[in-house]
Homo-oligomer: A and B are copies of this chain.
């Protein structure tokens, strides 16, 4: 891990990312932090999120409505993204290990993430309700 200076802002951003389950975008995280950390800039949030990725402290879940979403939980776990409402769900009960083995055996590729997309329970219900 590269050497970084101490930075209260960075620490605050990381704590905020760890504290939420909503897999926020840079913008969302920024808005949520403005209250607690007055004067923080959007560029600082973007900058530090990229450092977290670089340092293996966070992962990118993917893009939802054109915005990248982040997760401080780097343990390999499956994500579900609802294409209707944009919610990102941790699917801790769905083990990607078997699929990863299959992928390696059949394609020689090393997967480090698995993302499912579709309609979440709530949006799916709304659709079937008409």
Chain A interface residues toward B at CB < 8 A: 62-63, 80, 82, 89, 91, 93-94, 96, 99-100, 102-103, 106-121, 124
Contact = CB atoms under 8 A, between A and B. Distances in A.
A115 B62 CA distance: 10
A94 B89 contact: no
B111 A103 contact: no
The 4 closest A-B CB pairs, nearest first, are A108-B121, A111-B118, A111-B116, A112-B118
Contacts of A107: 80, 89, 91, 93, 120-121
A103 to B, nearest CB: 6
Contacts of A102: 93-94
Nearest to A79: B115
